[in-house]
């Protein structure tokens, strides 16, 4: 594949162009009950104001944000394995959020909260500078058609915004099984002034052992796709 020049990519997040289409799908009665009954325990409403994460989690701890957690199985698995960290999950689709809430309750998690809102607006308004130690973006919609590339969540300005919210030395971890999108992400991140590639060869990294296999990854594997993992480290120097 020929790499794209990042200067040809969209320059900034545009709220008229979102990286998702709100496909609600079929929600089960259990998921619907979870949204009604478990949201007070695990849900965070987007108000446009800044979140006080220390107050929400009742402690100060390293914080991970997962953007687009799907059905939440991966997020719940990671949060259960790392009780010393706090986790925030973003997802806009109700069935997935309901499924995640049920899994979080079953695991009796105290270190997980979820939001149903657009990631750009959450990062811009709800989180403060250096609030996060880690961001996970696993198997985002690849928007394979060229005319839809502007909808891809990984864009230069979005990466800049992530850099403003991730602490120096923090990690941005991504994965996709769509090879053209993997190279797109590598191109965008490699030209960022916010991050350094953790891979010694400045390419992709080996699949982290702690990353659970997601539903989307299993589907891709059945289709013969190969997952690509990326890991970038927030630079310690100023990004302004």
229 is catalytic: no
Query: Which residues, 6+ apart, have CB-to-CB distance to 144 below 8 Å?
Result: 178, 180, 181
Give one DSSP letter per residue of 37-74, joined into a string: HTHHHHEE---SSPP-HHHHHTS---EEEEE--TTSHH
Indicate which residue of 8, 52, 71, 141 is catalytic. Answer: 141
Angle CA(121)–CA(92)–CA(160) in degrees, nearest 5?
Answer: 35
Whole-Å CA distances, 212 to 194, 215, 238: 27, 10, 33
Picking from 156, 122, 160, the residue whose alpha carbon sits closest to that of residue 240 is 160
Alpha helices, H only, the chain: 29-37, 39-42, 53-57, 73-81, 94-106, 119-121, 156-165, 179-190, 215-222
Active centre residues (catalytic): 141
């Amino acid at each position: 594949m020929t790499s794209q020049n990042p200067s040809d990519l969209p320059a900034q997040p545009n709220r008229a162009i979102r990286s998702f289409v709100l496909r609600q799908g079929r929600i089960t009665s259990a998921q619907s009950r979870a949204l009604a009954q478990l949201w007070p325990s695990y849900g965070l409403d987007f108000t446009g104001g800044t979140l006080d994460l220390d107050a929400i989690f009742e402690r100060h701890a390293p914080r991970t944000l997962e953007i687009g957690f799907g059905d939440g199985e991966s997020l719940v698995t990671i949060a259960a394995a790392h009780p010393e960290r706090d986790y925030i999950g973003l997802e806009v689709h109700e069935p997935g959020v309901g499924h995640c809430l049920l899994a979080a309750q079953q695991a009796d998690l105290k270190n997980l909260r979820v939001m149903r809102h657009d990631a750009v607006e959450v990062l811009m308004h709800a989180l403060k500078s250096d609030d996060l130690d880690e961001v996970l973006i696993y198997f985002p919609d690849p928007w394979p058609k060229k005319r839809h590339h502007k909808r891809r969540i990984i864009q230069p300005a979005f990466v800049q915004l992530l850099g403003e919210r991730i602490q120096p030395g923090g990690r941005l971890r991504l994965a996709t099984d769509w090879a053209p999108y993997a190279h797109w992400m590598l191109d965008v991140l490699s030209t960022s002034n916010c991050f350094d590639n953790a891979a010694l060869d400045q390419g992709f990294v080996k699949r982290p052992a702690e990353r659970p296999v997601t539903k989307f990854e299993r589907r891709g594997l059945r289709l013969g796709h190969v997952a690509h993992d990326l890991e970038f480290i927030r630079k310690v120097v100023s990004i302004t």
